[in-house]
Structure 1
Amino acid sequence: MPRVAFTTFAILKRPYGDPVVQGFDDLTPPTFAQAEGSPGFVARAKESPDQSHLTNFSRDWGEWGRFEVPRFYTGGRTDDTDSRASTLSLWTDLESVFAFVYSGTHRTALAQRHAWFLKPEWPTYAVWWVGDDEIPTWADACARLEHLHEHGPTPSAFTLRTAFAADGTPVRVRGLAESRSTGA
């Protein structure tokens, strides 16, 4: 059965460690814990253990591939200059992704994004379907974000508001209509 790949990408106003973005950095561990405990969560890209001395760009991400960023990122690649925030995960269905994104700690972080991130001129996330035995790579995530930026939502890369089923047909994500009435 196909699974949902979900990637996020944003550029911080300042590099990690700066007080301007510390609130975001502080929410990262509990947000990852929320994702991992969410219904429908399958896995997320994590670096191999004992690599805290390496930058994200140098760490071993195993099956998730070499760490990459979309062309929208022109910032630094060292611990002192890294200002990008990106994630890559697998889910069982679109509704599970939606429920995670718009609830709990992630929703709290999402509501504060304007304080921490540059105003994007690119998609901040992309969704696409993968086979049940496929692990998306960071290169796949970059390609999907760039595709979404260039072509808008298509079955190859889409948003939760303009989504597609695994067979490529347009689909409405359950929960989206309710969230529109509550402002999510």
Structure 2
Amino acid sequence: MSRVAFTTFAILKKPYGNAEVQEFDDLTPPTFEEAEGSPGFIARAKEDPGQSHLTNFERDWGEWGKFDVPRFYTGGRTNETDSRASTLSLWSDLESVFSFVYTGLHRSTLSRRHEWFLKPEWPSYAMWWVADDAIPTWSDACSRLEHLHDNGPSPTAFSFRQAFTPDGAPTRVRGMAEGRKAGA
């Protein structure tokens, strides 16, 4: 059986610590908690404890690999200049990811993204299937986002609007059919 790897990527209007984006930063921990309690959630990339003094780029992310960002990010890499927001997680199925993204705290935060983030000229998320024993890395996430940007949806990297089964066949995510709008 396969699992869904899901990555998000956005660039804040101001670096972390700036009052303009503080509310987003404050909403991040409860949003992660909500994800971790969601049906279908398996795991997410977390840095090893005790590294808050290091930048995301310096922290040890264990099995998730060295932290990386896609080529779309041109911001800083220090704690004072970091302006990227990114996640990497594993889910049991597409519907579980969709349900988390478009309900609860995440949905309300997502609806306010224009307050905190630059308008993207790249995909803000990508999904792909991985084997049950695989842990996607930050490098994988970057290459999938870049692939989706450069080539459009395919079994290599896709969106909710144009999703694929683990076998590579096009599929429709339940929830999309009920008229919910999901970003590409």
TM-score relative to the length of structure 2: 0.97
Q: Percent identity?
A: 75
CA–CA distance in 2 between the matches of 1:9 and 1:80? Answer: 19
In the TM superposition, residue 23 of structure 1 has moved relative to its aligned partner by 1.2
> Which residue identity is paired with 2:41?
F
CA–CA distance in 1 between the matches of 2:64 and 2:104? Answer: 26
**Matched length:** 182
- What residue is the counterpart of 1:134 in the other structure? 134
Cα RMSD, aligned residues only: 0.8
CA 1:179–1:30: 2 relative to 1, 3 Å: farther
Structure with the largest fraction of helix:
1
In the TM superposition, residue 177 of structure 1 has moved relative to its aligned partner by 1.5
- What residue is the counterpart of 1:106 in the other structure? 106
Q: 1:14 aligned to 2:14?
A: yes
> Which residue identity is paired with 1:134?
A
- What residue is the counterpart of 1:89 in the other structure? 89
CA–CA distance in 1 between the matches of 2:108 and 2:52? Answer: 27
Q: 1:75 aligned to 2:85?
A: no
Q: Deviations over 1:21-65 (max 9, x none)?
A: 111101100100000000000000000011111110000000000
Give structure 2 stretches of 5+ with no counterpart: none
- What residue is the counterpart of 2:53 in the other structure? 53
- What residue is the counterpart of 1:159 in the other structure? 159
Question: What secondary structure, in the 3-state scheme, does the structure 2 residue paired with 1:168 have?
Answer: coil
Give structure 1 stretches of 5+ with no counterpart: none
CA–CA distance in 2 between the matches of 1:112 and 1:21? Answer: 11
Q: Deviations over 1:143-172 (max 9, x none)?
A: 000000000000000001110000000000
- What residue is the counterpart of 2:37 in the other structure? 37
Question: What secondary structure, in the 3-state scheme, does the structure 2 residue paired with 1:177 have?
Answer: coil
In the TM superposition, residue 174 of structure 1 has moved relative to its aligned partner by 0.4
CA–CA distance in 1 between the matches of 2:105 and 2:67? Answer: 25
CA–CA distance in 1 between the matches of 2:57 and 2:105? Answer: 26
In the TM superposition, residue 109 of structure 1 has moved relative to its aligned partner by 0.7
CA–CA distance in 1 between the matches of 2:46 and 2:172? Answer: 30
CA–CA distance in 2 between the matches of 1:47 and 1:120? Answer: 26
- What residue is the counterpart of 1:115 in the other structure? 115
